[in-house]
């Protein structure tokens, strides 16, 4: 990796703002290879130089990759004045420039990749790449073979173009008593489905079901490209991606 300024190195690793780390350097609290650093603009090689900040060794981490099982109620953003954010859930994070790759609605759960690797995000989100996104949903209404065919052809969700062909699997259809599920009328149908789409339009899954007269009442993303939601992660939990997962995505 190429050499970089000492103050940038420390600020990126969460040691403080550029101003704060500059102060620490001037106080003699930063060492490079055992010797006090003299200036914030000194260059360090992240691969070979040993940097300590207030006596603690600070290794440089270029990219971080986390898989989050997003809970409902938090927003897919880095900052928000009202709600909690998905980045805020990553307590282990070191870098300040993490962001979610794509967005899930506030009430949607499931797989979200959180990273600072802009190139990877670009590749996964590029409309030209048609990366698979797989969702599990619970839908009010009876999802039918006709819906499956309509989704395979593409549906009109009010945009300029029809949606790209999507693969709908009907997992379960059942008639439920009103008392059990708070349904509006006795004996309403509910369906469980898996849907694979290759675009990422705003509220796409919900709007596709609206287009066939049904309402999504629960939505969870379970896969994005090669990345599959780890079933051991409870909602709100996260873990680092494995080397193999990173390699497969890249």
Comparing CB distances to ligand URA, the nearer of 115 and 163 is: 163
What residues contact residue 84 under an 8 Å CB cut-off, 6+ apart? Answer: 73, 74, 75
C-beta closer to ligand URA: residue 105 or 142: 105
CB contact set of 196 (below 8 Å; sequence gap of 6+): 132, 133, 134, 135, 166, 167
Strands 109-115, 215-224: pairing kind: parallel
Distance CA 61, CA 59 (A): 6
Give the 3-state secondary structure of residue 192.
Answer: strand
* 7 carries an active-site annotation: no
Measured from the CB atom, the residue of 51 and 101 that comes closer to ligand URA is 101
CA–centroid distance for 33 within its chain: 37
Confirm if 71 and 84 have CB atoms less than 8 A apart.
Answer: no
Number of H helices, E strands in the chain: 7, 15
Active-site residue among 83, 105, 159, 230?
105
Residue 10 or residue 150: which is nearer to ligand URA going by CB? 150
Of 38 and 228, CB closest to ligand URA? 228
The stretches of the chain forming alpha helices (DSSP H) are 6-12, 18-26, 118-125, 145-153, 178-181, 204-211, 243-249
Report the nearest approach of ligand URA to the CB of residue 182 (Å): 22
Q: How far apart are the first and last CA of the chain?
A: 18
Q: Which residues bind ligand URA (CB under 6 A)?
A: 104-105, 108, 203-206, 219
Min CB(242)–ligand URA separation in Å:
25
Distances (CA, A) of 194 to 132, 203, 216, 231: 12, 16, 12, 16
| Shortest distance in whole angstroms from residue 172 CB to ligand URA | 20
- In angstroms, give the least distance from the CB of 243 to ligand URA: 28
The residues annotated as belonging to the active site are 105
């Amino acid at each position: 990796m190429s050499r970089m300024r000492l103050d940038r190195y420390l600020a990126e690793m969460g040691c403080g703002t550029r101003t704060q780390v500059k102060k620490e350097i001037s106080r003699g609290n930063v060492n490079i290879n055992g010797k006090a650093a003299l200036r914030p603009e000194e260059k360090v090689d992240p691969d070979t130089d040993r940097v300590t900040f207030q006596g603690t060794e600070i290794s440089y981490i270029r990219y971080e990759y986390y898989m989050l099982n997003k809970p409902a109620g938090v927003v897919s953003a880095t900052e928000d004045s009202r709600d909690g954010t998905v980045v805020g859930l990553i307590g282990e994070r070191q870098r300040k420039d993490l962001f979610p790759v794509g967005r899930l609605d506030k009430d949607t759960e499931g797989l979200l990749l959180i990273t600072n690797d802009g190139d990877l995000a670009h590749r996964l989100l590029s409309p030209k790449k048609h990366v698979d996104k797989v969702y599990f949903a619970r839908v009010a209404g009876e999802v039918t073979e006709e819906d499956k065919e309509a989704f395979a052809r593409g549906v009109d969700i009010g945009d300029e173009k029809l949606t790209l062909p999507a693969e709908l699997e009907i997992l379960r259809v059942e008639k439920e008593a009103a008392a059990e599920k708070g349904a509006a009328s006795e004996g309403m149908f509910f369906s469980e489905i898996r849907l694979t789409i290759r675009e990422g339009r705003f509220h796409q899954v919900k709007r596709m079901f609206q287009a066939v007269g049904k309402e999504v009442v629960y939505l969870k993303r379970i896969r994005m490209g090669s990345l599959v939601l780890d079933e051991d992660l409870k909602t709100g939990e996260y873990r680092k991606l494995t080397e193999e997962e990173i390699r497969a995505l890249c």
